[in-house]
Amino acid sequence: MLRINLVACLLLLCLAVGCKAQSNSQGPLDPSLTRRVEVMVRSQYSLPSDYDVAVGAPQPGNISGYNKLPITISHDGKSQVVDFLLSTDGTRLARLETFNLTNDPAFNIDISGRPIRGNPDAKVTVINFDDLECPFCARMHAELFPSTFDRYQNMVRFVYKDFPLTQLHPWAMHAAVDADCLAAQNGTVYWNYVDYLHAHGDEVTGQDPNLQRSFNELDRIARDEGTVGKLDMTTLNACIAKQDESEVRKSMAEADALGIEGAPQLFVNGERIDGAIPEQQVWDVIDRALRAAGETPPPPVATPPSAPVPVAPGQSASESSGR
């Protein structure tokens, strides 16, 4: 649905531009064409019936064969002028949208201080906004590690950002905090914890879900990993006990700014992958990023031929296959 946003300075700017444009207008459209344009805009943008649409007069444009057509969309005292394109013969309506290539947030995700799995100097970075209680995230994690990781070796680096869906997954925030406590001391121990939780989430939830029991289990697993990894246990225990959510919430705010609504959500050198998709599709995106970075992707994985179905004496091959 088209958004209607307005601040005072924008309104003044729109009025100024509108006044200037009117001096170059070519006269209003005839009522029949005006009605067709209005109905088309309402239909294509699913505008609610209580939104007003006012079609302005065509103005000279920069694209051959088209005039600029300002259309004002208003609702509840707010309005916004949207420039469309109308063919000079009045048969085609178009919308030209521009994008700022220098300020795309997908290319500026903050990974400072995050544990890296893979080659720290790799030209391709896979960033995953992850929820440690999410079953779809667990599926994606299983596809990334080990097969995707093994396929690309030192050509790709992997970074996880926190995005616990707290309304759906009650222990996801606690898990993210514990994971970050481990990450503060040792990246490898962090990854071991993430690997374990994505493979044993059902154990943390338990057959008879009890949130405090899940919290205790998360803390126990984190301490076990910290002991094996020879971390400073006094520091780790203090971090676990404090349960400071501030860094996790910074990551969640960044996800919100990127328009992320669910997990997992991957970004491969800026290209978004929404949800848990088949492994080969993930590889296709990584391969594109590698080629763009001047790297040659690994050769395609050969699919082993299917074993022939044995045919019993007197039986045709089609009968054997059930056709």
Q: What is the pLDDT of residue 100?
A: 81
Q: Which amino acid is at 26?
A: Q
Contacts of 192 (CB under 8 A, 6+ apart): 225, 228, 229
Residue 315 in this model has a pLDDT that exceeds 60: no
Q: Which of 111, 123, 121 is nearest to 183 (CA)?
A: 111
For 265, the 3-state DSSP assignment is strand
Task: Give the separation between CA 196 and CA 211, rounded to whole angstroms.
Answer: 19
Residue 309 in this model has a pLDDT that exceeds 70: no
Is the torsion defined by CA of 218, 222, 228, 234 positive or negative?
A: negative
Residue 19 in this model has a pLDDT that exceeds 70: no
Query: Which residues pair with residue 158 across a beta bridge?
Result: 117, 126
Q: What are the start-end ranges of the E strands in the chain?
A: 52-55, 59-60, 66-75, 78-87, 93-94, 116-118, 124-130, 156-162, 265-268, 271-274
222-264 tens-digit pLDDT: 999 999 999 999 999 999 999 999 999 999 999 999 999 999 9
Contacts of 180 (CB under 8 A, 6+ apart): 162, 190, 247, 248
Q: What is the pLDDT of residue 279?
A: 93
pLDDT band at 209 (very low <50, low <70, confident <90, very high): confident
Cβ atoms 176, 273 nearer than 8 A: no
How high is the mean pLDDT of the chain?
87
For 95, 259, 282, 298, the CA distances from 289, given in Å and listed in that order, are 30, 22, 11, 13
Task: Give the separation between CA 111 and CA 21, rounded to whole angstroms.
Answer: 45
CB atoms under 10 Å from CB of 247, counted, come to 15
**Radius of gyration of the chain measured on its C-alpha atoms:** 28
Q: Phi and psi for 71 in degrees, rounded to 5?
A: -125, 125
Q: How many residues does the chain have?
A: 323
For 6, 17, 203, the CA distances from 21, given in Å and listed in that order, are 20, 6, 66
Q: Which amino acid is at 9?
A: C
43-98 tens-digit pLDDT: 998 999 889 999 999 999 889 999 999 999 999 999 999 999 999 999 999 987 77
Q: Phi and psi for 315 in degrees, rounded to 5?
A: -115, 135
Cβ atoms 122, 269 nearer than 8 A: no
Residue 320 in this model has a pLDDT that exceeds 70: no
Across 112-120, average pLDDT: 97
Cβ atoms 245, 220 nearer than 8 A: no
CA dihedral 26, 31, 32, 33 (to 10 degrees): 30
Across 143-170, average pLDDT: 97
Residue spans of alpha helices (H) in 23-164: 31-44, 135-143, 149-152
pLDDT band at 11 (very low <50, low <70, confident <90, very high): very low
Residue 168 in this model has a pLDDT that exceeds 90: yes
Task: Give the separation between CA 235 and CA 122, rounded to whole angstroms.
Answer: 32
CA dihedral 211, 214, 219, 225 (to 10 degrees): -160
Report the percent of the chain where pLDDT is more than 70.
85
Task: Give the separation between CA 265 and CA 36, rounded to whole angstroms.
Answer: 40
267-305 tens-digit pLDDT: 999 999 988 889 999 999 999 999 999 999 999 876 656
Domains of the chain: residue spans and CATH? 8-94 (3.10.450), 106-292 (3.40.30.10)
254-276 tens-digit pLDDT: 999 999 999 999 999 999 998 88
Q: Which residue has the tokens 């290319």?
A: 107
Q: Which residue has the tokens 């208003």?
A: 74
